[in-house]
Amino acid sequence: MSDDPRNTQFAGFANLLYEELDKRDYLWIADGDEQSVKTPLSQRAYDLVQHALHSFELAELECCESRDELLPGIPDMTEFPKEPQ
């Protein structure tokens, strides 16, 4: 796995989600191929956080009493960003 933050920043989240999906028998992956699932999970977590952060102007982030107030203002992510060529 590369050191690209998109691949590594949320690797812990990807591991947690992978374990949860595996416990529920949602994964049918050949032995030793876990990383081919974990890397896209990490990348999409990064994409979602980036989407959420870019939904606000910096001034909006500074004036809230609680970060929870911001959550309703984050629009749904309806498509993934384009993959770099």
pLDDT, tens digit (0-9, with 9 covering 90-100), for 34-49: 888 899 999 999 999 9
pTM of the model: 0.79
Spatial separation of the C-alpha atoms in residues 58 and 51, rounded to whole Å: 14
pLDDT > 90 in the chain, percent: 41
CA 57 to chain centre: 21
d(CA 35, CA 38): 5
Check pLDDT > 60 for residue 1.
no
- Distance, CA of 38 to CA of 6 (rounded, Å): 12
Question: If 0-12 CB within 10 Å is exposed, 13-18 middle and 19+ buried, where does residue 37 land?
Answer: middle
